[in-house]
Amino acid sequence: RSKKLLLKMSSENDAQNKHTLYDMPVSNNGARCRIILYKKEIPNSEVTIASPMDLGGFRSPEYLALNPQGKMPLLVSGDMAIPESDTICRYLLTQYADSGPSFQPDHYKSNLVARIHDMYMTTIQGCLYKAAPPFGIYGSRKEAQAEFIRQISVVADIVNDDDGRYLLGDEVSYADAALFPTMVFAAYLFPKFVSGYIEDQILPKRLKDWYYGLIETDDVFRKVHDEILGGLQSWEEKDRWGTIHQAGARDMNASTLFDKIISGDIPANVVYQDTTVLAFTDINPAAPAHILVIPKDRDGLSSLRNGTPDHESLLGHMLVVAGKLASDKDLGFEDGGRLVINDGPDGGQEVPHLHMHVLGGRKFEWPPG
């Protein structure tokens, strides 16, 4: 169906309402729109909140015709279909400028916080609930989560000198509406991934006091908190995190001698290391050049068979490092080499910590023994 026809049908179906916001309670991006609606006390006769399922769901042709990204929220207003939460919010703030609080739309700090949130937090928030990467530009869940936490600190630094009930003082701002719903996600979901979770390590004091203060003292923010939390708990009931790497699926294996090499408790002839991998010579070489490449954080990779999509970035990096080592004549390599990963008892694996053998300096036969 054409977009024009769908807009006409939507307008006819909601003839009593000026606007329809397609959203769901669990949506943190949609929640900022709801905060504005609730705070401004916009009646249902002005803006109706409906489920995307009323149009067949996010991937239905009907919904995609109105929002090609297939995401929520989506605001339908007469002959306009407005996707993207920031655009929707600014439209609502303009349309209902004379109702309720202004949300300080011209405050530079408010707009900066919202921009950082939208560019650097929501783009990677999937690291807290999606089954597999990528999460924005990150191929690793740990890297994405570390960056998410860093951005929380960036926001905290912006508002740290502003005292008051809200982020920028005693008046609610657009920054509050944008950031608060995502903090509901962070406060509820990070404990699933962080062993020995300490909330202060995730939420700086200023944001922690702000977040829990709003839940306690502001009826609208508490209402939105409960809406989002209800959606997350419904995901929980379906065991959404049961098989997600680092949440339900964690590395429970004992440490190995490789962990002691990584920590420096056992000496090794290290030939290469970076933040992710360590490479050192094998003490029982099977070739003139024999290097072991291991991940510094085993991260569940006691064997290659335990690899998940979360490990693709790490495994690819290990291969790149192995290739560079096999090109280093100073390490004894000549024209190439052999890369071996022993996996499990049948593969001859002795240490339950994934490691690549990079061998060279002589000719190798095929098939291997």
**Catalytically active residues, by annotation:** 355
Residue 331 near residue 325 (C-beta atoms within 8 A): yes
Residue 31 near residue 38 (C-beta atoms within 8 A): no
Residue 314 near residue 275 (C-beta atoms within 8 A): no
Q: β-strands 270-273, 277-281: how paired? A: antiparallel
Measured in degrees and rounded to the nearest 5, phi and psi for residue 259 equal -65, -35
Residue 133 near residue 310 (C-beta atoms within 8 A): yes
Rounded Cα gap, residues 193 and 208, in angstroms: 19
Residue 116 near residue 127 (C-beta atoms within 8 A): no
Q: β-strands 289-295, 356-360: how paired? A: antiparallel
The three-state secondary structure class of 296 is coil
Measured in degrees and rounded to the nearest 5, phi and psi for residue 290 equal -145, 105
Query: Left, alpha or beta for 48 (phi > 0: left; psi -120 to 50: alpha)?
Result: beta
Which pair of structure tokens corresponds to residue 319? 């291969």
Which pair of structure tokens corresponds to residue 279? 């490479």
Q: β-strands 74-77, 19-22: how paired? A: antiparallel
Rounded Cα gap, residues 145 and 34, in angstroms: 26
Which pair of structure tokens corresponds to residue 40? 């401004």
Q: Residue 324 CA to chain centroid, in angstroms? A: 31
Residue 66 near residue 88 (C-beta atoms within 8 A): no
User: Using alpha carbons only, what angle is made at residue 230 by residues 69 and 246, rounded to the nearest 5 degrees?
Assistant: 75
Q: β-strands 289-295, 277-281: how paired? A: antiparallel
